Amino acid sequence: MDYNQSNIASPNRNIKKAYFIVFVCMIMQAIPFGVAQNIQPLFIPYVTSKFGFSLASFSLIFTFGAIASAICSPFLGKLYGKVNIKFLFLIGVILSSLGFMGFSFARKLYQFDILSAVSQVGCIMFSGLGVPFIISHWFPNNGKGKALGIAFSGGSIGNVFLQPITSHLLAASGPSTSYIIFGLLSLIVGIPLVIFFIRLPRDQEVINPSNTSNAQENTTIKGYEGAGAEAVRKNIYFWLFSIGYAIIAIPIAALSTQYATYFKSALNLQPSLIGILGSTFALFCLLGNVVGGTLFDKLGSLKTMAISAILIIIAIVSLLLSAHFHYISFLFSISYGLNVYSYMSGPAFMSSDVFGRKESSVTLGTISLLFALGFAFGSSLFGLIVDHFQFTVAWITMLICVVIGYALLLISIMKYKKQTLHT
């Protein structure tokens, strides 16, 4: 009897340990990641005003950051499993935090560009690569998707309080002081978490729920193996899908990085209201991550991404209408927040659901690279259009990108799946 009880208690203890690691990762997504990735758009109007930069030229920081992280990801990914996980996380947190803090001392555009690249490479080390790596070791079988969803929701949770704090601090102290404060915050939160808590499981701690069942996870696992990455890359519909997704990344970049500038510079909204809009966006991002995963499981890639298209169209139209009715800006925060699944969990799900589970990580790598290039281009393109034609033309251009991108994406999903069924 005692033996059986100990066997039951041990898995329970392991589950608690595993989910504690998930909780730690969630906090890291909230602070170090949230600082490096989510609050920079709020700085744009203050920095451009202080140094006289054009919106297009300063927006290149997002381009350089995205390209640097995209280029470095394959090389950094090879280090995981070979180099101590704690060391890699530490390097990532330090690079991300010091890069962000360094913005305080930057005076020229190229300095901002270099520091953005440093910060984003650090961010991808502990977040984009590190978090999935560590969670896949704690949850090698069932439960991985749920654990990843909880961990990455930390970015949205962090935004709830980071957005209003950032808005108030910028209004009170300006960008230079704010950069230092948030960079220090990342170090103060991130380093102790890594040193004391980040670790891989010992053999006896690995979660292995082979005797449990989960309907939702079983649904996710269903599907076909596919022909593998090499065969997929020879198919025209894969490239139409990837190009469509890259075009979609252009308005996603603009919406993610330029909304605060639009609210402040074009609509003259108060910093407190911009902070509330940011917090509203963050709350619905949290909801969108959860709901989006459920939609993918229940409806599949085609219908779920069609819903995403509707949401992002609503978001852009809301921004256009907000110029006349400021309260409609809340509709942007809600609709675009709900759409977060399209670029967070969407790529990973679609790479296996549409193109097959066989070598899906390789397929995902290609899709992610093209998305990163589109994202890198999007913010700069938006800024360039604003500098020459104002915000209205820029948002209409983004709307056109949405229509073209989603048309390619949805058509390629239908055609590829139809082709696969016939094959």
**Global confidence as pTM:** 0.71
Which residues make Cβ contacts (< 8 Å) with residue 190, sequence separation at least 6?
Answer: 28, 31, 32, 93, 96, 97, 126
What does the pLDDT look like over 298-347, one tens digit per residue? Answer: 788 899 999 999 999 999 999 999 888 888 989 999 999 999 888 877 77
Q: Are 126 and 93 in contact (CB under 8 A)?
A: yes
What's at 64, amino acid-wise?
F
Domains and CATH numbers, the chain: 1-201 (1.20.1250.20), 227-423 (1.20.1250.20)
Task: Return the closest-CA partner of residue 260 out of 241, 282, 288, 239.
Answer: 282
Q: Are 39 and 169 in contact (CB under 8 A)?
A: no
CA angle 30, 31, 34 (to 5 degrees): 70
Q: Where do runs of H (alpha helix) occur along 78-212?
A: 85-102, 109-123, 131-138, 144-152, 154-196
Q: Are 159 and 278 in contact (CB under 8 A)?
A: yes
What's at 246, amino acid-wise?
A
Phi-psi region of 231 (alpha: psi -120 to 50; beta: other; left: phi over 0): alpha
Task: Return the closest-CA partner of residue 130 out of 207, 64, 194.
Answer: 194
| Residue entry with tokens 């690995």 | 206
pLDDT higher than threshold 80 for residue 230? no
Find the mean pLDDT for residues 216-244.
Answer: 71
Distances (CA, A) of 357 to 303, 349, 364, 411: 20, 10, 10, 21
Find the mean pLDDT for residues 84-93.
Answer: 94
- Split at pLDDT 50, 70, 90, the class of 4 is very low
Structure tokens at 96: 């991300």
What does the pLDDT look like over 210-222, one tens digit per residue? Answer: 444 443 334 333 4
